[in-house]
Amino acid sequence: MMPDDLWKKPHRRLNPLTREWVLVSPHRTQRPWLGKVEKAAQPSALQYDPDCYLCPGNARAGGVRNPQYNHTFVFDNDYPALLPEVQSGRTADPESLLTAVPEAGTCRVVCFSPRHDLTLPRMTAEELRAVVDVWAQEMASLETISWVRYVQIFENRGALMGASNPHPHCQIWASASLPNLPQKELESFAAYQTEKKRCLLCDYLRLELERKERVVCENDGFLALVPFWAVWPFETLILSKRHVSSLLQLTSEEKNLLGDILKRQTIRYDNLFETSFPYSMGLHQRPSGSAEGAAWHFHLHFFPPLLRSATVQKFMVGYELLATPQRDITPEDAAARLIATSEKHYLD
């Protein structure tokens, strides 16, 4: 049992998914702030922007013109980070300290809606279900490609997270190798299964439901919480209550519930500082084309950069870059602030 005052003092917390530590320094929340202040992000007031590369009927940066779409719209990224014609896995000298191997992949963009101003927290249940269905369809399609090893679905929301276009959209990258973070999670899931004969996140979900210290919101299918080991101030983890390894195993009702929990969590984000809350969000699913992901538990990560207000950003610098991630606001305090926010969007 932890001493009652541990959470008030500097301490380390272990992330069992990556087997890495985070330093928590709750006493530092009292220090004055004289650092960089960003302008508060405001949602677009335009349903259609004639200068937007992603709005229906407009020409994209590469010259291709979008169709007059009236639902979700998927296209191959005009400037992809990965190319499918690359022959992956070949290297002249795998023993060298200067090792490089080709990496094949494909990158797609998913516009959530034709509306330029319609972000996830302001979409209807039907519109959110359409997004979830497209994610599942794209994943199923990409996994038919023999060399695809992993499908990463992610959204960068807001200029602070590097989003190059404000039109609500996400990206899907399919790669021939397993990326670093999913690789760490895969190893942790497998090690826990071998040692405990149980699922790591099933056990963690039960623990959080018992304690109710970091749970932000939940429905019959999913739980949203600030993880015990969170690095970012208002980082959240969304867990499937049923042990499934990917979107493709969700029932029709669970897909509706996934849309519901996404809406409820992102509304809380926007309401926290009454701003269009920036974040990187991603779905973590088992690797493609193999049975080694049987111990994998489907989950989503939200990594938002805001710290004290809509204008104060958390930076990973100095000690955090060179040694260990560090946070001031405890996960319990962050969860309490998110729980206290309304589930009605502040603009509605």
Residue 75 lies in domain = 15-23+35-90+99-339
Torsion, Cα 333 334 337 338, to 10 degrees, reads -150
Q: Using an 8 Å Cβ cutoff, are 102 and 86 in contact?
A: yes
Give SS3 for 21. Answer: strand
Domain presence at residue 328: yes
Is residue 169 annotated as a catalytic residue, yes or no? Answer: yes
* pTM for the full predicted model: 0.94
Distance CA 22, CA 320 (A): 9
Q: For position 163, what pLDDT does the model report?
A: 86
In the chain, alpha helices (H): 125-142, 180-196, 200-211, 252-273, 319-322, 331-339
Catalytic residue among 11, 27, 167, 169: 169
| Burial of residue 182, with CB atoms counted within 10 A of its CB: 0-12 exposed, 13-18 middle, 19 or more buried | buried
Domain presence at residue 30: no
Q: For position 101, what pLDDT does the model report?
A: 87
> Which CATH number covers residue 105?
3.30.428.10
Distance CA 262, CA 240 (A): 12
Domain presence at residue 47: yes
Distance CA 141, CA 146 (A): 11
Give SS3 for 131. Answer: helix
Q: For position 340, what pLDDT does the model report?
A: 96
Give SS3 for 170. Answer: strand
Q: For position 28, what pLDDT does the model report?
A: 76
Domain presence at residue 347: no
Bridge partners of residue 326, in order along the sequence: 23
Q: For position 34, what pLDDT does the model report?
A: 45
- Dihedral of CA 136/137/141/142: which sign? negative
10-residue stretch averages of pLDDT, the chain, 348 residues long: 70 97 85 52 83 97 94 96 81 73 95 96 97 98 95 95 91 97 97 96 98 97 98 97 97 98 98 95 92 89 93 91 94 96 93
Domain presence at residue 137: yes
Domain presence at residue 29: no
Q: Specify the number of domains making up the chain.
A: 1
Domain presence at residue 9: no
Contacts of 103 (CB under 8 A, 6+ apart): 82, 86, 88, 175, 176, 177
Give the tokens for residue 24: 């928590």
Q: For position 62, what pLDDT does the model report?
A: 87
Contacts of 34 (CB under 8 A, 6+ apart): none
Domain presence at residue 346: no
